[in-house]
Structures are given as structure tokens and as C-alpha cells.
Structure 1
């Protein structure tokens, strides 16, 4: 994949030489990303420092290699408990400085041009100073500085692989309010059209405070309520006249004819 993607686009010198010394740990990361949907064109952004999100929390532990991984400090995804899920660094010929950590739903990963070890020494090292220069380039260009180029796929505009579209999410108050009003209007319309208005007034439906909160409630397995999960929904269709005619003709017995007989004397 690296050889193919290196044929197009701009890269810093030395990519193919580094690819020849790809470590098993680096290969595992690229393979896992490919298994989650990484394609050859997207590999360009990964090698150039693109921020990648994968809805697979298991990758966080699978990428903690015993001999080459170590805890790292970073400002990425600060809403995660870093004491429980510290960011993990790893160095390699291709990834240079790989950094990954946890998100609420999965794992993130990003390749950096220069390793940094802020917080582990009292005085910054030359590598830390080069990392600071990379940060200034990021602030000026709004692009991540990766080992082999620049990428616009930052933490604010990441590359998203294998998104789990079934993950629950909260609605903003304006959206929840508008959705509740729509659901109440639909429910009132159903009340007056299903039965007579007199009966609908005498037997009102149960008053539920949060209609929007009932949508998409998680049940066992892959099931969920959704808009129609608690209703008896079926589909009826008018039979096709053309299909009915063909079936009618195919079941008609052949017309009866008298067999021919020889002439009588």
C-alpha cells in the first residue's frame, strides 16, 4: 500500500527507504486501519499526519506493544480520563512518532514528524524544540505536521473509519423541542383520525413527558424502538392487474376439442 500511494502526491524524501524497514508493530497498525476501511488514497493523509478516528475501542489495547510502546502526553481528546487511558507513543521508521489514545466510542491515532517528551524532563530536549516548531507550523497552516508531509485532517476535521452509526447520541435542546412538537402533532392527528372525535376526547392517550427521549431506546441485541419500534406496522399493496392476468391465463385449462374420428359407413 505504501508503494502504491507513494506514486502519487507529494512526500518528503526517504519514504520508500523507510518502508523497506517497516517494523512488525507498524505493519499491525496499518493492517488494522486497512481492515477498518483505510484505502490507498487515505493512506496519504495518514502518512502526512492526518488525525484518524476508528469506532473500535479494542485497538487502544491492541496497539500497546510491550517492548516499544510508552505513555505520552498530548492535548488530543482532553475529555478522556488520561489517568485511566493515557496516550500511547511509539517510534518507527515509517510512523516516526505514532501517537494514539481513546475516544468515547473508539480509538484515535496520528503520526507525528518529531517525537516529544514534554513533562518527563526539567529542560526541553532538541527534539522537543523541533516539536514546538511543528506546532507553530500547524498554527500557521492549520495542517498537521506528519512524518512525510502536511495534512488538513486535523482533530477538528478528522478522517473517520468504520463509523458505528448505531451509537446513541444526545439531541440539542432546540432539536429535541422541535422533534417533541412534531411527535405530539402526529399523535394528535392519529387520535382524531383513528376513531371518532367523540371517542378520542373521552379516551386520551397516555401523557408522556419526553417523547423525543423514547426514540432509539436501546434494547437487547441490535433491536431498538426507533419511530415504529413499538407499533404494529405492516405493508399492504394492491395486486398488480398485469400479474393477475398472467397468473389467470397460466392456470386456465386448454380448451376441449372433440377428437377426430374416421368416417362412418
Structure 2
């Protein structure tokens, strides 16, 4: 594919006489764009999209490619890319993405109604326009970053008068209200803010237990600790040196302690799996025991 002067990062680096590090960085950006273009061409072979997707992918900017590449790095697969291109709402439990995309070329503060629980003065929503993403919109969540591609950019607020794009954005909103689907640059997606696509979720999130569940769980943990004491090498010593008295045993589940990992799913206890021996094995063991002389069983050895 023939590149226009200044359109490609590699061409830019050569023309500007940049350093070897600049040329390597530009070459890496070109490789990222080529990979993202390939992903788009693959996903465009199946499913229905608005016309012009592949043509827009050929004009992909480094900033647009970086966004999709970052999502791929957090687990985005080619089938999921379809919903992203159609405007699916994506959550990623990585706050660093917000800052990285915020500083990208062409980024600007945007007003939106997404995630109103976030302080927008500290973490304003950020928009960015592009041939493929049309209007990329992203912001912060309590645990990370959200992103969504929109068909029509909007610039509500401030002293600006409503533009044609603002009116089109209102039309897209009406489509969302009637269909329950986001209006993305290349189609409609059912992945809305209420039913988002979740990438790289943080699973180790502490959750509170209801009092009855916590009470039953604490009783079970105390029974396990008591059982561990009786299986010590010396039961007499185990009684003399009891384990630390922790009033909130249930609270240790999944908690990271200073000197060791939390209990997790009883991660600090040795797990023993027992099962009833098969009937054949039980018959062999019984037969061997019956064949042992009586005096051997009584004295514990051969005379």
C-alpha cells in the first residue's frame, strides 16, 4: 500500500531525520496498525456492518490503533471486536489506560452521561475523532477505565450553539432509547453501560457477607482448626500451644495478610482427598489380613 508523505509513522521518522529510537518507535506503531487492520479485516468477513469499514481501517491513525491494541492486550478477541466497532460499552479494570488515552494526540474533554458516580472535574470524559472510531469516548470508573465508540461526535455544553452533529447525536440517542442498543460507528450493539463488555476484571474484590452466612462460615473454620489441632504430631503439645485466637475468621477469606496470603479458598490449609476404596481393593486387603497368623497380629511381628 502506497503511503502519503507524513501519513505513516515510519515515513515521518525518515523524513525528519529522527534518531534510531524514533525510527524504532515509528516502526512499532506501523506494526501495531497493521495488526489492528488485520483484525478488522478478519472480523469484517462475518456479520453485518455499515459500509466503509475496511476503507476506514486503511486510514487508521496510530492513536486509533493504540486503543484497539490496548483492548486486545487486555483480552479482547476478534469476535468481541465486532461489538466494539458497533459501539459496545467496554470496561477494563486498569486505570492506567485512562491516562494513556487521555494524553493521545487529538484527545479533548467531552461531556457525557456515563458513569455519573465519578468526579468529572478530576477525571473528565475524553473524546477523540478518527476515521475508524468516528468518536472515541472514554473515562474513569471506580476500578479502571471505560471506553465506547460513537457514530456521531457531539459537543454539547459551553457557549457553543448546537451543530448538525449534535442533532445527529440526538437521533442516535433516540435509536438507543427505542432499541436498547448503542449506536456505534459501524452498527448497533446490545453491550450498553448496563450490560457492558468486561475485560480483565479484578476478581479479588472483597465482598461483605450477611451475618448468617458469616456465622456459619466462622463455625466451619473453627471446626477445621480444631481438626487440624487433633491431627498434629503430638496432641498433647497441640493442646499446650493453641493457634492465635482470631475473632473474625470469615474476614480473612481472600484478605492479603502482611506475612502470608489470605485464606482464599482455604489456601493455607493442606487439603486431603479421601474416598472409599473399591470393593475389589477392599476384598484383597481383607483377604491378606485373614491370611496373617494370629500370633503375628498379636505381637506385631514375626517370631
Please state which band the TM-score falls in when normalised by the shorter chain.
0.7 to 0.9
1:138 partnered with 2:176:
yes
Rounded to whole Å, the distance in 1 between the matches of 2:60 and 2:228 is 68
2:83 maps to 45
**Cα pair distance change 1:178/1:23, threshold 3 Å:** same
Q: How does 1:6-21 map to 2 (within 5 A)?
A: 6-21=44-59
TM-score (norm 1): 0.75
Please provide the CA RMSD for this pair: 3.2
1:184 maps to 219
**Cα pair distance change 1:78/1:27, threshold 3 Å:** same
**Cα pair distance change 1:109/1:83, threshold 3 Å:** same
Which of 99, 108, 112 is residue 70 of structure 1 equivalent to? 108
Larger helix fraction of residues: 2
Q: Deviations over 1:195-246 (max 9, x none)?
A: 6xxx9xxx99887554432222223599333253565x365999xxx9xxxx
TM-score (norm 2): 0.67
Q: How does 1:57-136 map to 2 (within 5 A)?
A: 57-121=95-159, 123-136=161-174
1:170 maps to 207
Rounded to whole Å, the distance in 1 between the matches of 2:70 and 2:259 is 26
Q: Is the 8 A contact 1:180 1:211 kept in 2?
A: no
1:5 partnered with 2:66:
no
Q: Is the 8 A contact 2:125 2:139 kept in 1?
A: yes
User: How far does residue 157 in structure 1 lie from its aligned partner after superposition?
Assistant: 1.1
Relative contact order, higher structure (CA 8 A, sep 6+): 1
Rounded to whole Å, the distance in 2 between the matches of 1:210 and 1:180 is 10
User: How far does residue 180 in structure 1 lie from its aligned partner after superposition?
Assistant: 2.8
Number of residues paired by the alignment?
231
User: How far does residue 47 in structure 1 lie from its aligned partner after superposition?
Assistant: 0.3
User: How far does residue 20 in structure 1 lie from its aligned partner after superposition?
Assistant: 1.2
5+ residue gaps, structure 2, are: 1-38, 231-235, 276-280, 282-303
**What SS is found at the alignment partner of 1:63?**
helix
5+ residue gaps, structure 1, are: 243-265
**Cα pair distance change 1:12/1:121, threshold 3 Å:** farther
Q: Is the 8 A contact 1:217 1:225 kept in 2?
A: yes
Rounded to whole Å, the distance in 1 between the matches of 2:157 and 2:260 is 44
